[in-house]
Amino acid sequence: MSFGKGSKSVSRALRAGAVGMVLTAAVSISGVAQACLGVVAPEHTLALSVRTLQSDLMVAALSCNDRDRYNAFAVQYRGKLQKYGGELKAYFKKLHGASATREINTYVTDLANYAAVRHAQDRNAFCGGAESAFRALLIDKEPNLKRIALAYAMRVSPSLKQEITLAAAETGCDVVAQGTTVAAGGVTILE
């Protein structure tokens, strides 16, 4: 089909319009995914998820030789890590009262031990998961610790995966974790 003299400019205009529609759809879908994981989890689930991510990345720093990236993560997210650490302490205080400090120390130690066991079972999978998280946290143009921590926790923690999935279902959000891939609102968050 030919449009005559102006066919090249019409063709360019159509292509530009199609590209614009695809980009608009991608931005909208990304917004859906961020909103989806942004409202899904109760604060204690978010604090537990951030701590799970942080513990795994600490183990990766030592076991996968990712010290530089872990240090960059700790510096870049220091304020948020402290905020979620405070929320985790408040949650443990509410649950355990006077024994909260002992219980949180046990919990954090268990997280690190669980990460070390997963590393020992499958070094490539563990280090690859940490690599994916570091990339999302340090390289992506608009990293979102909350979204990444929830997605990462779904990947590695069966109990947090269940909690996040149930909370998502209550809000009408579609969150899926299968293998190493986590998606929300139809958009892959981590793979």
Q: What are the tens digits of pLDDT across the range 90-117?
A: 999 998 999 999 999 999 999 999 999 9
Distance CA 34, CA 38 (A): 6
Residues with Cβ within 8 Å of residue 58, at least 6 apart in sequence: 70, 112, 115
Residue 146 binned pLDDT confidence (cut-offs 50, 70, 90): confident
pLDDT in tens, 51-68: 999 999 999 999 999 999
Question: Is 70 within the bounds of a domain?
Answer: yes
Q: Which of 108, 115, 113 lies closest to 155, judged by CA?
A: 115
Please give the distance of CA 97 from its chain centroid, rounded to a whole number: 30
Per the CB < 8 A criterion, the answer to whether 150 and 35 are in contact is no
Question: Is 2 within the bounds of a domain?
Answer: no
Question: Is 164 within the bounds of a domain?
Answer: yes
Looking at per-residue pLDDT, the higher value among 87 and 20 belongs to: 87
Question: Is 110 within the bounds of a domain?
Answer: yes
DSSP three-state, residue 21 = helix
Distance CA 20, CA 16 (A): 6
Q: Look at 14-18, 23-27, 37-41, 150-154 and tell me which has the smallest mean pLDDT.
A: 23-27
Question: Is 3 within the bounds of a domain?
Answer: no
Domain count within the chain: 1
Q: What pTM was estimated for this model as a whole?
A: 0.72
Across residues 59-88, what is the average pLDDT? Answer: 95
Question: Is 135 within the bounds of a domain?
Answer: yes
Q: Name the DSSP letter for residue 172.
A: T
Question: Is 1 within the bounds of a domain?
Answer: no
Distance CA 36, CA 174 (A): 8
Range of the domain at 163: 8-190
Question: Is 40 within the bounds of a domain?
Answer: yes
